Amino acid sequence: MKKKAVAVIGIGRVGLPLALVLADSGYKVFGIGRNIEKINELLKGKMPFKDEGAELLKKHVGKKFLPTISYESIKECKTIILTLGTPIDENMNPVLDQVEAAFDSMLPFLKKDQLIILRSTVSPRTTIYVKEKLENQTKFKIGKDLFLAFCPERVAEGKSITETKTIPQIIGGIGDDSNRKAKEFFESFGVKCLLTDSTSAELAKLFTNMYRYISFAISNEFMVVAEHFNRNIHDIVNLVNTDYKRGGLALPGLTAGPCLFKDGFFLINDNPYLDLITASWKINESLPLFLVRKIRERINLKNKKVLILGLAFKPEVDDIRESLSFKIRKALIREHAKIVLHDPYVKEYSQQEVLNDLNEALKGIDVLFVATRHKVYEDKAGEILKKLNKNVYICDVWNTFGINKLVFTVNQVNLLRNSK
């Protein structure tokens, strides 16, 4: 397949790594964004977030990768890929404003034989809606004049460059010709393709995220049950999983992020009886308050200095969207605690200073919450304990300190280690 120009609309945490992979495989890529300041930063070769694509950006920007706010570049492109945010509103309803606005901006520049790929997570039948929108507002017929496919992103944030090239791509085209063209496109840079229809592809993406979300909810619920019986879930999960072919239980933890938190609402918005999804949301979202309560049972938090370790929604990234760390913070504010925030990757948060110096963050604290499982916390667990007063309480849902207890004091750790 001859590598003609590609437009990637939305050059955030999903679109930018994809654009860089395409540029590195020989495509001329127009990265279309909305914010001119961010575009200018990209043109200087500055990565706007923590990702493994920094070197590719420096290598290809201004050459194979051309950031812009203009949609006119679509006229040059054979393939148009939309990687836009699909959030939910305050009533938990899906919001497709970014996708709608992008299509409205695209319309004047569309031409025959272009392939349009929708990559954003959407409600089932959204691709069919897009087909009808395009046919209503242009002279083109999908599957004959233009080609349309839903091809969900499946990569883990922070590993986007590697996984874009190695994880099989699900392709849900509108008709056989759309499937064929999308398959040719992804195979052109070495990606294995799995063909289906658009609605099945949309459901596959939602099923993937909900399966993980529900699995974590079960673990979180059983952690609460285990705590009721004064037992530790990490011990129990280890007992189940060790050399047992039907093991594989997930460990508990703060479970959120921009995908897992919201994607179930793309389904229950259309079907109010999906109780498993709504129950999982309740369990996962209630965990921060449960953790604060377990600390409050042991110590009066008023005027206590409390450190939250980790603000990102998952390890080794700087993305704080829908992170439950801030739900812990809000609960601590209600307890009149003095809150300190630390994260090695997150540089700023609009409502409070974020410390990047761990030693500074640890000074004089009374309580420590491990909210994000960053590797640096595990690597420095011993150093952290040495810097803390023996009466400091630690809430460690991730078992970062390897104590197999949810809440403990530094002194309890020392006593346990001395007894071994």
pLDDT attached to residue 31: 95
pLDDT attached to residue 158: 79
- Report the alpha-carbon distance of residue 172 to residue 165 in Å, rounded: 18
pLDDT attached to residue 262: 57
- Report the alpha-carbon distance of residue 170 to residue 177 in Å, rounded: 15
Residue type, 163: E
The first and second tokens of residue 322, run together, are 């829908």
- Report the alpha-carbon distance of residue 305 to residue 110 in Å, rounded: 58
- Report the alpha-carbon distance of residue 213 to residue 260 in Å, rounded: 6
pLDDT attached to residue 142: 96
pLDDT attached to residue 390: 93
Q: Say if CB 203 and CB 218 are below 8 A apart.
A: no
Q: Say if CB 43 and CB 67 are below 8 A apart.
A: yes
Q: Which residues of the chain have pLDDT under 50?
A: none
The first and second tokens of residue 177, run together, are 């010709």
pLDDT attached to residue 413: 84
- Three-state SS at 12: coil
Query: DSSP letter string over 40-108?
Result: HHHHTT--SSS-TTHHHHHHHBTTTEEEES-SGGGGG-SEEEE-----B-TTS-B--HHHHHHHHHHGG
DSSP H or E stretch at residue 32:
strand 29-32
Could you tell me which residues are beta bridge partners of residue 292? none
Could you tell me which residues are beta bridge partners of residue 80? 7, 116
Give the number of C-alpha atoms closer than 13 A to the C-alpha of residue 388, restricted to the C-beta side. 28
For residue 264, CA distances in Å to 75, 97, 103, 122, 231 come to: 36, 19, 25, 10, 31
- Report the alpha-carbon distance of residue 384 to residue 413 in Å, rounded: 12
Q: Tell me the backbone φ, ψ of residue 118, rounded to 5 degrees.
A: -95, 120
Q: Tell me the backbone φ, ψ of residue 217, rounded to 5 degrees.
A: -65, -40
Nearest alpha carbon to residue 394 among 376, 379, 416, 409: 409
Sorted by where each starts, the structural domains of the chain and their CATH numbers stand as 6-200 (3.40.50.720), 228-419 (3.40.50.720)
Q: Say if CB 149 and CB 171 are below 8 A apart.
A: yes
This prediction's pTM: 0.83
